[in-house]
Amino acid sequence: MSGDKIYTALSEEHGGDARWAFGTGFTDALAGVDTTLPEGVDGADLALYCQMLGDDALVQAQRLVHWVTDAPELEEEVALANIALDLLGQARLLLARAGQADGTGRDEDAFAYRRSVGEFRNVHLAEAPRGDFARAVVTLLVLSSVRLAVFTRLVDSRDPVLAAIAAKAVHELAYHREYAVSWVLRLGDGTPYSRERVAQAVADVWPMTGEPFAAHPAEAGLADQGVAVDPATVRAEVHDVLTHVLTSATLDAPPAFPEPAVAGRDGVHTPDLAPLLDELQKVAREHPEATW
Amino acid sequence: MVTVTREQARARARSAAAAVTDPELPMLTLADLGILRDVAVEDDGTVAVWITPTYTGCPAIAEMRADVDRAVRAAGFDRVEVRTALAPAWTTDWITDEGRRKLAEHGISPPGGAPRRASGPVPLTLSPTRTVPRCPRCGTADTEELSRFGATACRSLHRCRSCLEPFEHVKEV
């Protein structure tokens, strides 16, 4: 765009719609999508499942934006912010789907801003403190590997909305995993100091790697109906991926994942989630009438 | 008296919607970008326009929807509904040849072929295997990636080793 065109674009009259200040009025991420439930599927269970997948993304995105203005290099800041944006986009669609599936008609904002801690369904690894950069890339490696494996299968879901969301997200998640892999390799196969830091990050993150493979009863039931993916079915594949990455980074092969146990999926969280949600929900709670 | 057939009305609505530009890549229209999926005139005269997001979280989509709404109204239609089409998922293969030409003309390297994948797990790659983009200025393939993530979700940052100019590339998805 040449200089004069930029000026024209900036100074152009927009018919008084004040578009930049007050948004566009388009808030429904799923506007016009056929939202009929597949036959025999329990709407409440599907809504719960959409919240599980949506909250993993929303909470992880909120953690990732803590790197904005605080990353080691500008490129990494931009990368982490972009990854957060992708995840936020996935969360918006999934939470919008949740509000349609459970019949309440709640929009994405109702889920993001007006639920309490015990109503969030994300796994603990998504809410864990951000830690150092090594911890951030190891966390991203684990979460993106699990999510990619699940979403790769979810493209065949009997719910056409979930299938469509997954089909888009797979492309994005492949980039997220690639980014995490590139940094784990550089740090692991870097200096003794960087290697030590990333090895420590793996050790710190590992106790939380069992939970994502534990199926909540609603998840298991929907998996039997061909709507959800039972995360237990991707466990071996994800372990292979992580083993390959870590050993290629000259780190020790990881131990087996801890025994899976449902926690966050049941609304049971660590003390780290409440302050994160306070920050996420502050503006919306203080100004309940605000629109954007 | 001249009667406008529904097909003529549809064509007029479609050309108005197709000419809307991407706020973040303003050299491209929605038609160039391949995100305008369909336009229909319904029985009650409502114009329905289906567009598909590029990236799920692309913040430009709300702007584009507002712009489509405005453009179709300006073409003489009172009732407009902009709807989301999620499937099939957009890939960079939907960008038209005209779109690619415009990108290159504006110094942005157009995407190569979108990654194809049979069913099954996404293969794990430990080294860069994505396409090496050519410099949009001097055409050499001797370029390096500066960052996989750029100013918007769809672009990455590169530098030409020959003419030393930095440039952007629309990532293959």
ipTM confidence: 0.85
| pLDDT score of A175 | 92
Band the pLDDT of A6: cuts 50, 70, 90.
very low
Provide the residue range defining the domain that includes B169: 129-173
Please check whether residues B140 and B71 belong to one and the same domain: no
Chain A hits for B106, CB-CB cut-off 8 Å, are: 1
| pLDDT score of A196 | 98
A72 has a pLDDT exceeding 90 = no
Q: Mean pLDDT throughout A209-214?
A: 98
* Spatial distance between the Cα atoms of A29 and A50, rounded to a whole number of angstroms: 14
pLDDT tens by residue, A238-281: 999 999 999 999 999 999 999 999 999 999 999 999 999 999 99
CB atoms within 10 A of CB A25: 12
Please check whether residues B138 and B73 belong to one and the same domain: no
Chain A hits for B166, CB-CB cut-off 8 Å, are: none
Residues A92-127 as b/e (b if ≥16 CB within 10 A, e otherwise) read bbbbbbbbbbbeeebbbbbbbbebebeebbbbbbbb
* Spatial distance between the Cα atoms of B98 and B8, rounded to a whole number of angstroms: 25
Q: What are phi and psi of A56, to 5 degrees?
A: -55, -45
> Is B110 among the domain residues?
no
A185 has a chain B CB within 8 A of its CB = yes
> Is B119 among the domain residues?
no
> Is B89 among the domain residues?
no
Number of CB pairs, chain A paired with chain B, less than 8 A apart: 130
pLDDT tens by residue, B92-105: 999 999 999 999 99
In chain A, what are the domain boundaries?
42-286
A227 has a chain B CB within 8 A of its CB = no
| pLDDT score of A266 | 98
Q: Which amino acid, residue B163?
A: C
Measured in whole angstroms, the distance separating CA A183 from the mean position of its chain's CA atoms is 19
Domain C-terminal end among B84, B117, B140: B84
Beta bridge partners of B50: B38, B83
DSSP A155: T
Q: Mean pLDDT throughout A198-222?
A: 98
Q: How far is B56 from chain A (nearest CA, A)?
A: 5
Q: Do B84 and A33 touch (CB under 8 A)?
A: yes
Chain A hits for B63, CB-CB cut-off 8 Å, are: 19, 24
Q: Mean pLDDT throughout A202-224?
A: 98
* Spatial distance between the Cα atoms of A272 and A259, rounded to a whole number of angstroms: 22
Q: How far is A89 from chain B (nearest CA, A)?
A: 3
Q: Do B56 and A89 touch (CB under 8 A)?
A: yes
Inter-residue contact B170 to B103 (CB < 8 Å): yes
We find that the CATH architecture of domain A42-286 is Up-down Bundle (1.20)
Band the pLDDT of B62: cuts 50, 70, 90.
confident
Please check whether residues B80 and B142 belong to one and the same domain: no
| pLDDT score of B17 | 97
* Spatial distance between the Cα atoms of A254 and B170, rounded to a whole number of angstroms: 36
Report the predicted TM-score, pTM, of the whole model to 2 decimal places: 0.89
Structure tokens at A222: 């929907």
DSSP A16: T
Q: What is the β-pairing status of strands B80-84 and B47-51?
A: parallel
Domain C-terminal end among B27, B60, B84: B84
- Burial group, residue A28, by CB count within 10 angstroms (0-12, 13-18, 19+): middle
A168 has a chain B CB within 8 A of its CB = yes
A290 has a chain B CB within 8 A of its CB = no
Q: Helical H runs in chain A?
A: 3-11, 19-22, 43-64, 74-101, 108-113, 124-127, 133-154, 160-188, 192-205, 217-224, 235-248, 273-286
Mutation target to probe the A interface, by most A beta carbons within 10 A, among B122, B144, B145 is: B122
> Is B113 among the domain residues?
no
Q: Do B124 and A83 touch (CB under 8 A)?
A: no
Q: Mean pLDDT throughout B17-36?
A: 95
Nearest CA in chain B to A175: B148
> Is B103 among the domain residues?
no
> Is B150 among the domain residues?
yes
- Burial group, residue B27, by CB count within 10 angstroms (0-12, 13-18, 19+): middle
Q: Do A93 and B55 touch (CB under 8 A)?
A: no
Per the structure, the count of domains in chain B is 2
Structure tokens at A60: 């992880």
Inter-residue contact B80 to A31 (CB < 8 Å): no
Which is nearest to B94 in space by CA: B66, B52, B152?
A: B52
> Is B93 among the domain residues?
no
